[in-house]
């Protein structure tokens, strides 16, 4: 039997105690999964353009409608409705970059969006948080910070994708200021600010600029901040989101236009129809980003899923979700625009259902060319809860997928004919040279899966994966180290946040 100490190098007291893969940018070298023919994609594309041309979409901000009108869109005074003709949409979206780097305050944590790269984001925006010991509670600063620490700690988390739980104990007027301070201090990875009106997103941009330690002109040339734009489906983009698009695009920061097209509720009950509507809303939003600032980085968001028709409850990680996620990848590729999709489930607990629904999203999302995977770590309950144990489970799932995407090498060494010859019929490979030279890094080593035999597993307490995940998240919090930040940057950040808090934060509502 071959023995190994750990997948990590020799440990010192300083080193982390949890095995995990090194920081890396996942890359998909395989043919992308497809479920629709080019003709079918074209039919969805044309249907979506017809929606924008004939039916139109509400832009609930006059300033936005004026920008669209100036570019040749059809608007009526006193009416929110905007109609885009095909040519205008296609001309506008042609300016989007197909690939870009997003800069973190720690350049080692820069990421690439587009091409065959993938980036995984921490859960964003749930109002509740849970672990199996203390149960479910409303979002709060303490849990918010602990979740951020896990996002920073685990190398497979590339993006802090919004508040991992809503810190409800912070007053709404200053929440974004305190929350973003915590986020940028506790983590040095790329991050997200909410487009909840002009003031908040301008604060988010200023914080991103400060922690990147750049002047405004340089900042505008280096995408460093994400903001998700959710449409208010069907066919509506509301005022705060439009203000977010305007300010983010002006600053050349990364917008993710994600229609909220739940089939059977806010979109047609047919997935094809929901996709046509998703595409219309996404193209409208993406076109608008380019009317504000040609070339601004933008991501095509797909979030189409279905509802439970008996209750109206949203469902995630369903067969319909899988199909929509793959079709979404095909649509985004048609426009050569990076694609955002998600790791989602509707389970009320970090249990087997959470695992299989997550895998039912992750496989399609990743193999179909998803570039930004939102909620990749920690989401349960259809987004109503962040789960500490689910974060650990997702680390395992994401790490497995990252390993899956490392292609097999096929050469004389790996085909191992000489090893097969040496070992011969009926022999074994445990101790042979070919094995000894490679066994340390031959296979993915899990952090959460338990491959003990039943007797050993039972002796160790017969712990389910969920219980083991509980233990591991606590261990990770102990191992967590706050990333370094220049004293001058920290002071500028504090000066800005403190001043804005003193001013009372956001006035607008």
Site for its own copies in 28-87 (CB under 8 A): 30-31, 33-36, 40, 43-44, 47, 50-51, 54-58, 80-81
In the complex, the smallest distance separating the C-beta of residue 92 from its own copies, rounded to whole angstroms, is 20
Q: Which is nearer to its own copies, 210 or 271 (CB)?
A: 271
Stretch that binds its own copies, among 103-111, 159-167, 193-201, 379-387 (CB under 8 A): 379-387
In the complex, the smallest distance separating the C-beta of residue 459 from its own copies, rounded to whole angstroms, is 11
Of 120, 371, 396, 473, which lies in the binding site for its own copies, with binding defined by CB under 8 A?
396
Q: Interaction with its own copies in 223-282: which residues (CB under 8 A)?
A: 232, 234-236, 263-273, 275-277
Of 318, 330, 342, 343, which lies in the binding site for its own copies, with binding defined by CB under 8 A?
318
Q: Two tokens at 58?
A: 């509400």
Q: Which is nearer to its own copies, 248 or 401 (CB)?
A: 401
Closest CA to 399 of 196, 157, 218, 159: 157
CB neighbour list of residue 147: distance below 8 Å, 6 or more residues apart = 122, 123, 129, 164, 165, 378, 386, 388, 391
Looking up tokens 């200053």 gives: 174
In the complex, the smallest distance separating the C-beta of residue 171 from its own copies, rounded to whole angstroms, is 26
In sequence order, the β-bridge partners of residue 101 are: 112
Of 72, 295, 312, 504, which lies in the binding site for its own copies, with binding defined by CB under 8 A?
312
Of 143, 211, 351, 373, which lies in the binding site for its own copies, with binding defined by CB under 8 A?
351
| Pairing between β-strand 111-114 and β-strand 99-102 as defined by DSSP bridges | antiparallel
In the complex, the smallest distance separating the C-beta of residue 265 from its own copies, rounded to whole angstroms, is 6
In sequence order, the β-bridge partners of residue 129 are: 137, 386
Stretch that binds its own copies, among 96-104, 178-186, 456-464, 491-499 (CB under 8 A): 456-464
- The b-or-e profile of 332-364 (16+ CB within 10 A means b, else e) is bbebebbbbbbbbbbbbbbbeebbebbbbbbbb
Tell me if 452 sits within 8 A of 465, measured CB to CB.
no
Looking up tokens 């460093």 gives: 224
Euclidean distance between the first and final Cα of the chain, in Å?
66
Q: Interaction with its own copies in 101-120: which residues (CB under 8 A)?
A: none
Stretch that binds its own copies, among 27-35, 107-115, 219-227, 249-257 (CB under 8 A): 27-35
In the complex, the smallest distance separating the C-beta of residue 326 from its own copies, rounded to whole angstroms, is 9
Neighbours of 173 (CB within 10 A): 18
Q: Two tokens at 184?
A: 């940028």
Q: Which is nearer to its own copies, 428 or 507 (CB)?
A: 428
Strand order through the sheet with 379-380: 135-138, 128-131, 385-387, 379-380
Considering the rule CB under 8 A, would residue 309 count as an interface residue with its own copies? yes
Q: C-alpha distances in angstroms, 490 versus 246, 495, 496?
A: 28, 8, 10
Considering the rule CB under 8 A, would residue 347 count as an interface residue with its own copies? yes
Q: Which is nearer to its own copies, 58 or 182 (CB)?
A: 58
């Amino acid at each position: 039997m071959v023995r190994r100490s750990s997948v990590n190098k020799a440990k010192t007291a300083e080193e982390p105690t949890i095995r995990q893969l090194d920081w890396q940018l996942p890359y998909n070298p395989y043919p992308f999964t497809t479920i629709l023919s080019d003709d079918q994609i074209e039919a969805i594309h044309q249907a979506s353009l017809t929606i924008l041309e004939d039916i139109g979409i509400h832009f609930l901000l006059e300033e936005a409608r004026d920008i669209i009108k100036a570019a040749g869109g059809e608007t009526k005074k006193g009416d929110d409705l905007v109609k885009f003709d095909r040519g205008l949409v296609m001309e506008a979206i042609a300016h989007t970059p197909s690939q870009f780097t997003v800069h973190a305050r720690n350049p080692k944590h820069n990421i690439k969006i587009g091409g065959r790269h993938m980036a995984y984001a921490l859960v964003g925006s749930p109002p509740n948080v849970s672990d199996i010991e203390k149960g479910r509670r409303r979002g709060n600063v303490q849990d918010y910070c602990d979740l951020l620490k896990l996002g920073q700690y685990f190398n497979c988390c590339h993006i802090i994708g919004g508040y991992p739980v809503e810190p409800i104990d912070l007053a709404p007027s200053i929440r974004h200021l305190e929350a973003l301070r915590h986020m940028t201090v506790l983590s040095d990875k790329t991050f997200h600010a909410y487009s909840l009106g002009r003031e908040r997103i301008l604060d988010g941009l200023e914080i991103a600029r400060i922690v990147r330690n750049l002047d405004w002109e340089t900042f505008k040339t280096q995408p460093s901040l994400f903001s998700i734009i959710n449409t208010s489906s069907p066919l509506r983009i509301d005022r705060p989101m439009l203000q977010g698009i305007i300010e983010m695009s002006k600053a050349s920061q990364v917008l993710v236009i994600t229609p909220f097209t739940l089939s059977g509720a806010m979109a047609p009950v047919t997935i094809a129809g929901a996709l046509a509507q998703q595409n219309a809303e996404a193209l409208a939003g993406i076109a608008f980003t380019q009317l504000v600032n040609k070339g601004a980085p933008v991501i095509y968001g797909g979030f189409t899923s279905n509802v439970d028709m008996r209750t109206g409850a949203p469902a995630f990680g369903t067969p319909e979700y899988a199909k929509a996620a793959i079709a979404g990848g095909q649509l985004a590729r048609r426009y050569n625009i990076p694609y955002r999709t998600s790791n989602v489930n509707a389970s009320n607990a970090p249990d087997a259902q959470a695992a299989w629904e997550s895998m039912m999203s992750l496989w399609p999302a990743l193999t179909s060319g998803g570039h930004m995977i939102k909620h990749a770590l920690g989401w349960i309950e259809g987004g109503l809860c962040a789960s500490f144990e689910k974060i650990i489970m997702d680390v395992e799932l994401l790490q497995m997928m990252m390993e899956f995407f490392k292609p097999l090498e096929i050469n004389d060494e790996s085909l191992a004919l000489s090893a097969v010859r040496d070992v011969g019929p009926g022999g074994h490979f445990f101790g042979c040279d070919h094995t000894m030279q490679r066994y340390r890094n031959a296979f993915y080593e899990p952090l959460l899966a338990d491959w003990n035999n039943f007797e050993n597993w039972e002796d160790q307490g017969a712990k389910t994966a969920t219980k083991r995940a509980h233990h591991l998240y606590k261990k990770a919090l102990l191992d967590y180290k706050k990333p370094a930040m220049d004293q001058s940057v920290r002071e500028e950040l504090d000066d800005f946040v403190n001043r804005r808090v003193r001013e009372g934060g956001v006035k607008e509502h």
